[in-house]
Structure 1
Amino acid sequence: MPSEHYIGGFHAVLAALEDGRHKPFEVLLSDSRNDERSRRVRALAQSLSVAVRTVARSDLDLKAPGLRHQGVLALMPQVELAGEDVLLAPADEGRLFLALDGVQDPHNLGACLRTAEAAGVSAVIVPRDRAAGLTAVARKVAAGSAERVPVASVTNLSRTLAKLKDAGYWLTGLDGDGVETIYDVDLRGPVVLVMGAEGEGMRRLTRENCDRVVRIPMLGKVESLNVSAAAAVCLFEALRQRLGATRG
């Protein structure tokens, strides 16, 4: 496994500088940019004693092929994803986890992370194998949220969910054939929202661990939503209920 990697895009790089758990080794800026955002990145990096180099845009393309880097890259230390230890805090009323059962597309993972941060999720749970990792693409789509939301990589998702259930969490899975809708169930308190993979949904063992399986009501001819869109619907319904509880 490489000891370092690049992330790109202004949101991701600024997040790594401002409040990321690990600071960049250096920041690379395209010589074709001299706007407010690039100046902000340069000033912030220099204030943190992070080296800044100006390079040709073609150099950025070579270092991060296929990544829409917007003219900025940051060289980051390779850090392992969090383990199950981030899930061990007591199952109090404010804890909300998002579990992704084998999401393969890094764009979807990044979008889920961005929504998770906005909805106040405590951690995102992903299986270690056969799932998208925190690649440069996922981090860019996450727009900085990958630096702020813990991502717990677990060896066996169904076993982890069973432990959380025993610890007092309510496991709510999403599937198109759920009897109840996401709007019919109580999503306050310690909850794990479980989303399945693109096209396949939750695996059998994952589904069996859920206390309840719900669906998003759909009108028209659309059969299902993209996993990141579905996660947004469910997470913000949970947030709506939680805000109502705190205000009531």
Structure 2
Amino acid sequence: MGRRPHPRSQQGQKSPFPRLYGRHAVFAALDNPERSFRKLHVTHASAKTIVIPPGLTVQYGDDHDLGRLVPADAPHQGFVLEVDPLEPAWLGDILAEAQTDNDRRPILVLDQVTDPHNVGAIMRSALAFGARALVTQDRHSPSETGALARAASGALEHLPWCRVVNLARALDEIGEAGFWRIGLDGTADTDLETALGIARPALVMGAEGEGLRALTIERCDQLAKLPISAAMESLNVSNAAAIALYAAARRPA
């Protein structure tokens, strides 16, 4: 799969490379053959619970030492792993792969969802419900950080993440590849279950409050809504994504 590097820094003590923290995120990264490691920071106690790959530089410290490497109050659990960023998946590869199989796994497209905790949680749901890939616009999405990786609980290492320059153009390509592009919008007349039908869907979701941009809506084949109570105006985008992905996964084969 073609990929390209995308280095960025994160909060905590400054580093040009992402620092992943917490047991799930670090263990998943260490198990990922496509991940390159730079340095592992551990306490002496946590080091006893992990198999350290040969050749990996290890720095020992106490909880306070590790806490200085990550955002304030981040639950590092005795593990901080400095890594090279993963190379984003190429959308063309994802679409080409979709032409060779007969399943209806969805692609999930996020329009300006910028909170790393939301994107991480969405990744977790996307992997759990069998999504084919996540697509975001590079300029309007979070970078790979420890906060995102922790929220993803390992999904960052497994779910293909396509970071595109132009989201409208990417939606054009997705439509040309035979995906039915469904924009999630609370004002739509059609519910999501009806819109899904038997199509191979691309679920398109916007940021909370702002929703989908006009140019994104123009690229959607259909708008649909989740059947939530009128007593609640909307859901958190990560919760809405989980429900939409579940709805796509539960359709009869």
Q: What's 1:61 paired with?
A: 67
Q: Which of 16, 23, 28 does residue 15 from structure 1 map onto?
A: 28
Q: Which of 58, 64, 75 does residue 52 from structure 1 map onto?
A: 58
Distance in 2 between residues matched to 1:93 and 1:187, nearest whole Å: 16
**Quick check: 1:223 aligned with 2:230?**
no
Equivalent residues of 1:20, 1:148 under 8 A apart: no
Instruction: Give the superposition deviation at 1:188.
Output: 4.1
Superposed CA RMSD in Å reads 1.9
Q: Which of 170, 173, 176 does residue 183 from structure 2 map onto?
A: 173
Equivalent residues of 1:93, 1:190 under 8 A apart: no
Q: What's 1:98 paired with?
A: 108
Q: Which of 104, 117, 122 does residue 127 from structure 2 map onto?
A: 117
Q: Deviations over 1:5-30 (max 9, x none)?
A: 21011111111111352142232112
Q: Which amino acid aligns with 2:102?
A: E
Q: Mapping of 1:159-198 within 5 angstroms?
A: 159-198=169-208
Q: Deviations over 1:39-81 (max 9, x none)?
A: 332x2x24x5434332121121111123322221111013443
Q: What's 2:157 paired with?
A: 147
- Percent identical residues: 34
**Quick check: 1:75 aligned with 2:88?**
no
What's the TM-score, normalizing by structure 1? 0.88
Equivalent residues of 2:41, 2:61 under 8 A apart: yes
Distance 1:189-1:20 versus aligned 2 partners, 3 A rule: farther
Distance in 1 between residues matched to 2:134 and 2:235, nearest whole Å: 20
Equivalent residues of 1:102, 1:132 under 8 A apart: no
Distance in 2 between residues matched to 1:181 and 1:114, nearest whole Å: 24
Q: Which amino acid aligns with 1:61?
A: G
List gaps (5 residues or longer) in structure 2.
1-7, 10-15
Q: Which amino acid aligns with 2:76?
A: H
Instruction: Give the superposition deviation at 1:100.
Output: 0.4
List gaps (5 residues or longer) in structure 1.
none
**Quick check: 1:88 aligned with 2:101?**
no
Distance in 1 between residues matched to 2:221 and 2:142, nearest whole Å: 26
Q: Which amino acid aligns with 1:206?
A: T
What's the TM-score, normalizing by structure 2? 0.86
The number of residue pairs the alignment matches comes to 236
Q: Which of 34, 39, 49 does residue 26 from structure 1 map onto?
A: 39
Equivalent residues of 1:173, 1:214 under 8 A apart: yes
Runs of 4 or more, structure 1, over 4 Å off, are none
Distance in 1 between residues matched to 2:33 and 2:197, nearest whole Å: 29
